[in-house]
Structure 1
Amino acid sequence: MQYNKRKIRKINDKKVLKKVKRNWVVASISSFAFFGAIGFTLVSNHTEALADSYKNQPVVVGNSTNGN
C-alpha cells in the first residue's frame, strides 16, 4: 500500500463523458445540478415592464405662424 503524504481522499463521484467537437469533456452529476439550478433561477425571474408607469403630463400644442 502506498503512503499518502497529503491525505487526499478520492470521492467516488458519478461522471458522464460528453463529446464536444473533437474533445471529451467530463461532466459530473454535481455540475449538472449546479447548472440546472442556475438555469431555473434565470427562467423563474419575472421582470415586468409597464408602459404607463409614469405620470401623464399635458402636451402643449402651439400655433406656429409663418411670415407668409
Structure 2
Amino acid sequence: MHDQFTDTTPSAYDYPLLVKQLLHTSLVQARDQQIVYRGQMRMSYSTLHERIGRLANGLSKFGAQH
C-alpha cells in the first residue's frame, strides 16, 4: 500500500500484519518455542494453536461464526 505520507521499502511486508498471519507464521517457523506471559504462564506456539482451536470449537457450539 502506498500513499502520499509513506514510502514503501524493500523490507516492508507485502501483506497486512494480521494476528492470524502472525500466529500462523510463528506456528510454522517456531512450533516448539516457548511463549512467556508476565513470568507466570508458559506454553509453546503449538499448544497455543491447539487451545485457540478448542476455544473456536466451543464458541461455534454457541453459534459464533467467522
TM-score tier (shorter): 0.3 to 0.5
Q: Specify which structure has the bigger relative contact order, considering alpha-carbon pairs within 8 angstroms and separated by 6 or more residues.
A: 2
Higher strand share: 1
Structure number, greater radius of gyration: 1
Higher helix share: 2
